[in-house]
């Protein structure tokens, strides 16, 4: 029953990569014949104790049948293994002849009342990580509805992600097939949930791959090329996306002084990639803008050595908007999407822009550059200007923009800034429904005066005061969206995980904002963007 699908990767023609196939079936975990079965167990509240003195816990949903097949000793056996049903915990058991599958992986879901979609996503990932060497896996967690099934599917594919392209030997061997088990497998919305989960998770993993790729192999030119190639590689509905790449000459013709100004200190010239997905009867038009700094050395305002270590991640915003656009097209969401990704390498070469230089932006505004490490707002400004010309219902830009946002919100929460009060409330809620953490931040009135306080140009790129850097950057960007409705997502914290993997989030590129953008388009199709 296993279907192997192979995808060749360019580095070495001999290397092959498994793409895990995700499907849904109504089979029972006790009768399904896979190499391993994953089930969930909930823990008791902190005070709850079973008669035997061990912590009380209970099989969750479809796991009940497995517990029953093992007999009364099942829960005590788990307890003897030190398993308590805590979120993230796993126990791997041989199933003897009790089940048709030889191995059962038990994952903790935490307390029963707290099992939401995010808990399912994390548990699914924990289950996958506990398995090695299985060709086929079935997963039976207590997903009550289509949203729960979608969360399980996402947890599976996001949790299985690895980036082994640069290792001599692959460290992991993911299963070729994962089957989500649910009684409702035949429901249309459940089937849809599984295919949505696959499309969205693959988009997140694509963004992760781009972020993880070393900057010498992902220069602006190579990034643009990879984005164009994805259109044909992905096949299917991704082919409906129109790709346009502007090279240096085209950028000069367009007057993109911000993008060119940032790129001019590098031997690798800048690019702008424009994607357009234009379905037949769009319910709304969304413009997406992404920061694609393929490496941020800081330019002449050079970063420290440690400050640069993770700066290949500075194209995470571009990766997110590009991958999300393909996913929206693949899902056939009836929303028009026009996407602009500014790609440049911020380097301190002899031709680099200097603090004190004035750039003339695409909009015609002049900008006094005071810190070449505040480059993101310069490349975004030109792309935002292009986006306004497309006259969408909403512009969303995504950028690893400020270290200040990481100071304010930590590494797992993105900042949301906007020129529209309603969106400031709606976007974090949409993110939450997608399983991402985002929090609204203000653009205080005083920022307007600060961004327009250059002594020689229209705008001042950088605020020398050390506070409120995220808010100032947003106020600067706002100058380029004019009257358009606009949301800015600062993903500087969540885009890259330089600590250990957790839940379904790997080390390295995380694909932050992809799920929120796809969800935003889906909700826009249902009228969520109406004023
Ligand atoms: N790419 C950085 C922001 C960043 C910091 C992203 C940490 C991810 C993790 C951005 O270009 C930058 O250098 N910002 C400066 C702005 C400052 C000079 C006003 C910063 O945050 O220090
Ligand atoms: Mn910078
Ligand atoms: Zn940067």
pLDDT tens digits, one per residue of 340-373: 999 999 999 999 999 999 999 999 999 999 999 9
Residue range of the domain that includes 253: 215-525
- Is residue 289 pLDDT above 60, yes or no? yes
Question: Residue 63 C-alpha to ligand 1 middle, in angstroms?
Answer: 47
CA of 511 to the centre of ligand 1 (A): 18
Q: Do 182 and 219 belong to one domain? A: no
Residues 86, 165, 191, 303: which is the catalytic one? Answer: 303
- In a 13 Å sphere around the CA of 348, the CA atoms on its Cβ side amount to 12
pTM of the full structure: 0.96
Ligand in closest contact with the CA of 404? 1
Going across the sheet that includes 366-368, the strands are: 358-360, 366-368, 459-460
Range list of H helices, 25-73:
63-70
Tokens of 229: 């190639």
What does the alpha-carbon distance between residue 528 and residue 524 come to, in Å, rounded to a whole number? Answer: 5
* Residue 419 scores a pLDDT above 90: yes
Q: Is 297 in the pocket of ligand 1 (CB under 6 A)?
A: no
490 within some domain: yes
Please check whether residues 165 and 227 belong to one and the same domain: no
What single-letter DSSP state applies at residue 457?
A: S
Mean local confidence (pLDDT), 399-416: 98
Question: Where a domain ends, among 145, 170, 186?
Answer: 186
Do 347 and 483 lie in one domain? The reply is: yes
Residue 466, SS3 per DSSP: coil
What confidence score (pLDDT) does residue 50 get?
A: 53
Residue 46 has pLDDT above 80, yes or no: no
Model confidence at 55, in pLDDT bands (50, 70, 90)? low
pLDDT in tens, 470-526: 999 999 999 999 999 999 999 999 999 999 999 999 999 999 999 999 999 999 999
In a domain, 200, yes or no: no
Domain at 118, CATH number: 3.40.220.10
Q: 270 and 143 in one domain?
A: no
Q: Is residue 530 part of a domain?
A: no
Confidence bin at 5 (pLDDT 50/70/90) = very low
Q: Catalytic site residue 303?
A: yes
426 a catalytic residue: no
Residue 412 sits in the same domain as residue 297: yes
**pLDDT value of residue 12:** 44
pLDDT of residue 151: 98
Mean predicted lDDT score pLDDT of the chain: 94
**Confidence (pLDDT) at 235:** 84
Domain annotation covers residue 294: yes
Q: Is the model's pLDDT at 54 over the cut of 70?
A: no
Q: Which residues of 177-203 are buried (b: 16+ CB within 10 A; e: fewer)?
A: bbbbbbebbebeebbebbbbbbbbbbb
What whole-number percentage of the chain has pLDDT above 70?
A: 95
The answer for 159, left when phi > 0, alpha when psi is -120 to 50, beta otherwise, is: alpha
Average pLDDT over residues 30-36: 97
Cβ within 8 Å of residue 373, ≥6 positions away: 296, 298, 299, 301, 302, 303, 346
Based on the structure, what is the number of domains in the chain?
2
pLDDT tens by residue, 138-175: 999 999 899 999 999 999 999 999 999 999 988 888 99
Residue 293 CA, ligand 2 centroid: distance in Å: 9
Are 158 and 275 contained in the same domain?
no
């Amino acid at each position: 029953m296993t279907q192997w699908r192979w995808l060749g990767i360019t580095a070495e023609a001999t290397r092959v990569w498994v793409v895990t196939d995700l499907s849904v079936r109504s089979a029972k975990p006790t009768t399904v014949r896979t190499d391993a079965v994953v089930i969930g167990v909930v823990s008791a509240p902190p005070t709850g104790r079973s008669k035997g003195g061990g912590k009380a816990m209970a099989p969750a949903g479809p796991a009940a049948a497995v517990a029953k097949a093992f007999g009364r000793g099942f829960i005590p056996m788990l307890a003897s293994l030190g398993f308590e049903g805590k979120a993230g915990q796993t126990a791997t058991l041989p199933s003897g002849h009790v089940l048709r599958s030889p191995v059962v992986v038990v994952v903790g879901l935490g307390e029963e009342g707290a099992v939401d979609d995010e808990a399912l996503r994390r548990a699914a990932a924990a289950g996958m990580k506990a398995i090695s060497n299985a060709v086929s896996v079935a997963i039976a967690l207590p997903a009550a509805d289509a949203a729960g099934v979608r969360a399980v599917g996402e947890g599976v594919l996001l949790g299985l992600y690895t980036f082994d392209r640069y290792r001599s030997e692959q460290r992991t061997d993911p299963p070729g097939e994962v089957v989500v088990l649910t009684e409702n497998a035949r429901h249309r919305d459940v089937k849809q949930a599984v295919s949505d989960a696959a499309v969205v998770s693959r988009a997140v993993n694509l963004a992760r791959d781009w972020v993880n790729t070393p900057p010498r192999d992902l220069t602006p030119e190579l990034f643009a090329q990879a984005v164009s190639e994805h259109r044909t590689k992905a096949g299917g509905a991704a082919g409906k996306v129109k790709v346009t790449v502007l090279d240096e000459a085209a950028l000069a013709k367009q007057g993109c002084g911000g993008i060119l100004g940032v790129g001019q200190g590098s031997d690798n010239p800048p690019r702008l990639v424009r994607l357009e997905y234009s379905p037949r009867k769009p319910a709304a038009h969304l413009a997406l803008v992404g920061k694609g700094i393929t490496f941020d050395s800081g330019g002449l305002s050079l970063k420290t050595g440690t400050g640069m270590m993770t700066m290949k991640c500075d194209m995470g915003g571009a990766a997110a908007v590009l991958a999300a656009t393909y996913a929206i097209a693949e899902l056939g969401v009836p929303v028009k999407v026009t996407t602009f990704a500014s790609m440049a390498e911020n380097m301190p070469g002899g031709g680099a822009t200097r603090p004190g230089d004035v750039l003339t932006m695409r909009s015609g505004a002049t900008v006094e550059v005071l810190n070449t490490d505040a480059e993101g707002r310069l490349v975004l400004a030109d792309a935002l200007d292009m986006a306004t010309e497309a006259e969408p219902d909403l512009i969303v830009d995504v950028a690893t923009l400020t270290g200040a946002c990481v100071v304010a919100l930590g590494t797992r929460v993105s900042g949301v800034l906007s020129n529209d009060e309603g969106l400031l409330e709606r976007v974090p809620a949409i993110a939450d429904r997608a399983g991402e953490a985002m929090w609204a931040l203000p653009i205080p009135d005083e920022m307007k005066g600060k961004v327009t306080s250059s002594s020689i140009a229209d705008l001042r790129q950088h605020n020398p005061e050390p506070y409120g850097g995220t808010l100032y950057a947003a106020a600067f960007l706002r100058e380029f969206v004019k009257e358009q409705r606009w949301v800015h997502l600062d993903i500087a914290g969540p885009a890259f995980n330089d600590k250990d993997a957790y839940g379904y989030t790997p080390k390295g590129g995380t694909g932050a904002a992809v799920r929120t953008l796809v969800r935003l388009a889906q909700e826009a199709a249902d009228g969520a963007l109406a004023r």
